[in-house]
Amino acid sequence: MISYSNQKKFTICLKLVIINRSSLNINLFEFDRVIKSQLYTVFNLPKQNLVLKIETKVLYKYKLSQLYNKLVLCICDSVQHNNPAETHFKGLLICINKLFIQEILSGKNTRTIPHEFGHALGLDHPHARASFNTINEEATTLEKQIPINEFSTNLMSQTWYVQKANININKAINLHQNQIELIKQNLMQQKLNNNYSIKKMLFWYKWVV
Ligand SMILES: [Zn+2]
């Protein structure tokens, strides 16, 4: 689950299970260490009153009941359109394409993981689909107010957008103040934890995707 506390600082609490459904042999403990560091870099912003807490559980073997209602980071054999990853918007399942694991582990790509968590936290792309320098009309009002000249270094722009602007993708990890505000609102208004990836049947559990 994704939860929060709001005492001294606004704190995002991620309870995350890491699993590997792909055919690759991956050191999940190493993966755990790497992704935590990438997520802290982007979302732990105490000066902006945002703090990140992550509790992870690495499971090499699991029962689906152990994943039910949990935030799950899952390495998969394939992702739609061969994208690096896909996330249920505001949801609990983040799938990472196995073909991109090596560049995530090596630090060549430190952006995909935080970008996907941005979606899980309810952030949309600030720019319109397949369109450069255009606002995403489907995004929230807060997101539509982000200045277009900040899109190319923003965490939530798509990779092609950053590359088209000639920016190193690992440098495009900024969050605009409005996006921080939106994450807080999504948490406080309980808009997250949707689209459960595991369905509970009468006597068993099954993957929805
Ligand atoms: Zn995206």
Residue 104 lies in a domain: yes
**8 DSSP 8-state letter:** S
84 CA to centre of ligand 1 in angstroms: 10
**Global pTM value:** 0.95
- SS3 of 62-120: the string is CCHHHHCCCEEEEEECCCHHHCCEEECCCECEEEEEHHHHHHHHHCCCCCHHHHHHHHH
Residue 179 lies in a domain: yes
Write the single-letter amino acid at 169. I
What integer pLDDT is reported at residue 85 of this predicted model? 95
Residue 110 lies in a domain: yes
46 CA to centre of ligand 1 in angstroms: 25
Pick the closest to residue 82 from 98, 104, 94 (CA basis): 98
Residue 209 lies in a domain: no
Range of the domain at 135: 2-204
17 CA to centre of ligand 1 in angstroms: 21
209/111 Cα distance (integer angstroms): 24
Largest CA distance in the chain: 53
85 CA to centre of ligand 1 in angstroms: 8
Which burial class, exposed, middle or buried, applies to 163 when counting CB atoms under 10 A from its CB (0-12, 13-18, 19+)? Answer: middle
* Average pLDDT, 10 consecutive residues per value, the chain (209 residues): 92 96 96 98 96 97 92 95 92 96 97 97 94 93 97 97 96 98 97 88 87
41/45 Cα distance (integer angstroms): 8
63/208 Cα distance (integer angstroms): 15
Structure-block tokens of residue 57: 């559980």
**Structural domain count of the chain:** 1
Helical residues (DSSP H) of the chain, grouped into ranges = 28-43, 64-67, 101-106, 112-120, 141-144, 159-164, 177-188
203 CA to centre of ligand 1 in angstroms: 35
The CATH number of residue 193's host domain is 3.40.390
201 CA to centre of ligand 1 in angstroms: 31
164 CA to centre of ligand 1 in angstroms: 16
123 CA to centre of ligand 1 in angstroms: 9
Structure-block tokens of residue 205: 């559990």
Residue 59 lies in a domain: yes
Q: How far is CA 105 from CA 27, 32, 112, 116, 189, in A?
A: 10, 10, 11, 16, 34
Residue 20 lies in a domain: yes
169 CA to centre of ligand 1 in angstroms: 13
What integer pLDDT is reported at residue 130 of this predicted model? 83
157 CA to centre of ligand 1 in angstroms: 7
Structure-block tokens of residue 97: 């394409």
Geometric angle at alpha carbon 39, from 145 and 200, rounded to 5°: 95
What integer pLDDT is reported at residue 195 of this predicted model? 76
Residue 162 lies in a domain: yes
Pick the closest to residue 91 from 50, 122, 49, 47 (CA basis): 122
